[in-house]
Amino acid sequence: MGPVSPTPSRGPVGEIRRVGGRLHPLSDFYHTLMRASWPATFGVILGAFVGINVLYALVYVALGDGVEGVRPGNFEDCFFFSVQTLATIGYGKMVPASRAAHVVVTFEAFTGILVTALTTGLLFAKFSRPTARVLFSRDVIIAPHEGKPTLMFRLANERGNRIVQASVRVSVLREVTTAEGLSMRRLIDLKLQRADSAMFMITWTVFHTIDESSPFFGVGPDEILRDNVGLVVTLIGLDDTLSQTVHARHSWTRDDFKFGHRFVDILIDEPDGSRVLDLRKFHETVKIL
C-alpha cells in the first residue's frame, strides 16, 4: 500500500488577514519558531549564527592587529576567527594578542554559551513536542444512516499507537442574521452520537443525527452555499506511548459537503481471516441517492 498524506487543514472562512495587534514575529519569537517548519527554524538559526559572527568580525577588523595570525583588516580572517571563538573550537593558529581583543573574545564566548543554550532548548522542545497524526476525511457527508438524516465524517490514526480517552468536539460555523438585521458568523456545537472513545487506534466515523434540534435540520446544498457553512473539529486524547496529551484539528468549507453519499469501506477481511486497513481509499465515497 502506498503512503497516504494527511489532508491539509483549511479554514472554514478562508484566509483571514489580521490588522492591528502585536503580530510582528519578533514580538513572540519563541512561539513563532515553535510553530515554524523545521527548514524555517534551521534557516533562522543559521542566519543568527552568521549574523553574530559578522558583527564580531567587524569588531576584530576595527581592532587592527589585535588578533595574532590574522591579517590586519582582513574581514575573512576575522570572520573565521569569530566562528572558532563562538563555537569554542580554538585551533590555536589565531589567538587574541591585545587586551581589547581579549575583552571582545570574553563577550563572544559568553554569547556563544547563550546561543548554544537557547538553540539546544528550542530544538529539544520542538523535537519532543507531542503531536497526533490524525487523518481527516476530505469531505463531510450528509445522508441517511439507520433511517435518519445524518452528518458524518471519519478520521484515522496514522500512527501505530493508541490515543486513549479520545474526545471529539464538532462545531458548525455559519452566517446568521440577528433580529436587528446584523449579519454575523456564529459557532454552534453539534450533538454527536458518540463524542468519546476509550481507545482510538484505527478509524473512527463521527455521526451527528439531524433532527429538529440540529442546525442542519432542513438545510440543503443551496443553504450550505448561501450561509457559507463550515465545520470545525478538534480531537484531544492521551498518547499511550508518551503518556502526554495530544490534539488534532481540522475544518471543512462549504464546498466540502456531499449529500447522498457514503464512505467506501476501508477495513477489508482477507481470506485467511486477517484484516487490512486500506487508507488508499480513505477519502473515497460512493453515491447512494
**What CATH number is attached to the domain comprising 36?**
1.10.287.70
Does residue 148 sit in helix, strand or coil?
strand
Same domain, 92 and 181: no
Cα gap 38→48, rounded to integer Å: 15
The separation between CA 234 and the C-alpha centre of its own chain, rounded to angstroms, equals 13
Contact present, 70 and 60 (Cβ < 8 Å): yes
Sign of the four-CA dihedral 40, 42, 46, 52? positive
Same domain, 63 and 94: yes
If you ran DSSP here, which 8-state letter would residue 260 be given?
A: S
Same domain, 79 and 150: no
Domain end call among 106, 128, 150: 128
Q: What is the CA radius of gyration of the chain?
A: 28
> What is the per-residue pLDDT for 22?
59
Residue 1: pLDDT band (50, 70, 90) is: very low
Same domain, 241 and 112: no
Number of compact structural domains in the chain: 2
User: Grid coordinates representing 59?
Assistant: 569588531
Domain end call among 73, 108, 128: 128
Domain span including residue 70 = 25-128
> What is the per-residue pLDDT for 5?
40
Backbone angles phi, psi at 47, to 5 degrees: -60, -40
Task: For residue 68, tell me if it sits in a domain.
Answer: yes
Question: pLDDT (tens digit, 9 = 90+) per residue, 101-125?
Answer: 999 999 999 999 999 999 999 999 9
Cα gap 186→215, rounded to integer Å: 11
User: Grid coordinates representing 188?
Assistant: 454552534
Among 233, 210, 223, which residue's Cα sits nearest to residue 176?
223
Work out the percent of the chain whose per-residue pLDDT is above 90: 62
For the cut 80, the answer to whether the pLDDT of residue 287 exceeds it is yes
Residue 199 bridge partners (DSSP): 164
For every residue of 185-213, DSSP letters joined together read EEEEEPPPS--EEEEESSEEEEEEE--TT
Neighbours of 35 (CB within 10 A): 12
User: Grid coordinates representing 65?
Assistant: 592587529
- Predicted structure pTM score: 0.72
Question: pLDDT (tens digit, 9 = 90+) per residue, 227-258?
Answer: 889 999 999 999 988 889 999 999 999 999 99
How many residues in total does the chain contain?
Answer: 289
Report strand pairing: 183-189 vs 275-277.
unpaired
